[in-house]
Structure 1
Amino acid sequence: MVHIRSLDPSASPLDYYGFELRRRREEAGLKQSQLGACIFVTGSLVGQIETAKKVPTRDFSERVDAALGTDGMFSRLVGLVLRSQLPHWFQAYAEMEAKAAYISTYQAQLVDGLLQTEEYARAVLGFRNEDNLDARVAARMERQRILDRETPPLMWVVLSEAVLHQEVGGPEVMRNQLAHLLELRGREWVKVQVLPFAVGAHAGLPGTFTLLRFEDDPDLVYTEDFVQGHMTANPAAIREGSLRYDHLQAAALSVEDSAALIARVMEERYGHRPGPDGRTLA
């Protein structure tokens, strides 16, 4: 007799997802391999998700909904599952980020997580620890869905020029990441400015920070150290963060000039160059 691991659906969103997937599949009279064939994955993968050994993706969930006729249940549930894969200390911030009407952030070293490509995010998240990396990358990509809402938050990003030169994941990953930043110009609610090296000393020297503003709730300021993040609604902290951000915006290049600098760095530092044999090199 095959031993089937029993799940406590109240243990976590992932356990609940696995429990419901097995229940709905069995109600449909399908074996794991049969459901897998319907959604173009292996039966083994279905089994791993049913036993909470693997985290489902949004694509998997949408296919399951279509195959089992579950009216979008798994597509809705996967958001909770992926959010639960974020670091525990970060989950409260992610919830507030998703509610924000206005996000303004200064990034000193990396592209902001909401604007990262999947390959760039994988290089960042997997630098020291590749455990559960697929799930952590999927969770970061899931956060970005707030920018695709019918009414997305207005997001204003100031990047240190160092972000453009800090090679993360290799030249091709960086080229694609900078190209993605340029593509975002098509979204009127996302603005990117670059703080050039020529500015010298500036208000962002203490490090990266983010301000969240809401329609009905108090503003928040968020900072991180190498251990965890810190979020506060303290009026003095909000005032200081807002003042620093105003100074950074004023010192940064315009949105148009920032795009020109990003394009120049993309071509000069990460552009495709012909090799000795005439083939293109990254």
Structure 2
Amino acid sequence: MTQINTLDPGASPLDYYGYELRRYRDAAGLTQRQLGDIVNYTGSMIGQIETARKLPTQDFSERADAALGTGGALSRLVELVMRSQLPGWFRQVAELQARAMEICSFEDHLIHGLLQTAGYARAVLGVLNQSNLEDRTAVRLARQSVFEKDESPVFWAILSEGTLYQEIGGRETMRGQLAHLLSFEQNPRINIQVLPFSAGAHAGMQGSFDVYRFSSDPTIVYTEGYGSGHPTANPDTVKDCSLRYDHLQAAALSLKDSAELMRRVMEERYGEPSDSVA
């Protein structure tokens, strides 16, 4: 209990969340175990969240808000908590994604993080580093809440055809990932195109990039390297990458044809395994 008593709410958003959770729980006259029984989590888990040793999830926050009558305070705070757990160099980018009116992305080797499933994200993040994998996966998926806002950004994603065939996490994970991409087929705000192998040399051969457009701020181009991100509002770079994106969209398959290709790859390459035993 010493850890709880000495928790500094000003140390980080995670510490502040834990401090507030304990304050609301105490005000309700509940023990950690009693609150855990109500929200279907263990008392130990409640204790770990209150001492900033475990990340809260959106699901937990919503249940705790309902149980403690907080008026949604914890649910509003959890987005800030998740963002604070991102690598320092990426936090500015997450902020840009949250504020953007339109996001245009080209990916030549991975499914974009805003479109990843839990299984796919876990496989990507787990390469060479298995530490705190579940928490890091939850943090990445939390970024997708930008699509749940009242004024969510319009998202255009162009994926190299190779991203459909790069088997990340195994066949079941890839099947689930492609099914997830197809779930946006009727969503006019999330548009996914595939740049086919047949396009040959193309305008994105220098690598993946994002273009963020805002209602009043300058457009920003974002590129990424090993452990570093590079956002820039340089007019020449923005002009060049915007032109490149226009050419990539022209070379990519239509939305309908892209969905048909994803569906075909999902069934033919990642279809349900045979029940027969060799």
Q: Do both proteins adopt the same fold according to a TM-score greater than 0.5, normalized to the shorter chain?
A: yes
Distance 1:4 1:235 in 2: 50
Identity of aligned residues (%): 56
**In the alignment, what sits opposite 2:2?**
3
**In the alignment, what sits opposite 1:247?**
247
Moved more, 237-246 or 132-141: 132-141
**In the alignment, what sits opposite 2:58?**
58
Distance 1:84 1:3 in 2: 25
Is residue 82–residue 135 contact of structure 1 (8 Å, CA) maintained in 2? no
Q: Aligned-pair distance for 1:238?
A: 0.1
Moved more, 224-233 or 122-131: 122-131
The residue correspondences of 1:85-234 to structure 2 (distance < 5 A) are: 85-234=85-234
* 2:34 is equivalent to residue 34 of structure 1: yes
Distance 2:72 2:41 in 1: 19
Moved more, 24-33 or 90-99: 24-33
Per-residue deviation, residues 136-187 of structure 1 (Å, max 9, x unmatched): 2112221111112222111111100000000011000000111111111121
**In the alignment, what sits opposite 1:44?**
44
TM-score, length of structure 2 as denominator length: 0.97
* 2:79 is equivalent to residue 79 of structure 1: yes
Aligned to 1:44, the other structure's residue is in SS state helix
Distance 2:219 2:212 in 1: 6
Aligned to 1:193, the other structure's residue is in SS state strand
Aligned partner letter, 1:209:
F
Distance 2:103 2:2 in 1: 49
Distance 2:235 2:201 in 1: 26
Aligned to 1:274, the other structure's residue is in SS state coil
- RMSD of the alignment, in Å? 1.3
Distance 2:126 2:260 in 1: 30
Structure 1 outlier segments of 4+, above 6 Å: none
Distance 2:3 2:79 in 1: 26
Distance 2:276 2:75 in 1: 50
Distance 1:151 1:21 in 2: 29
Aligned partner letter, 2:227:
V
Where structure 2 has 5 or more consecutive residues not aligned to the other structure, the ranges are: none
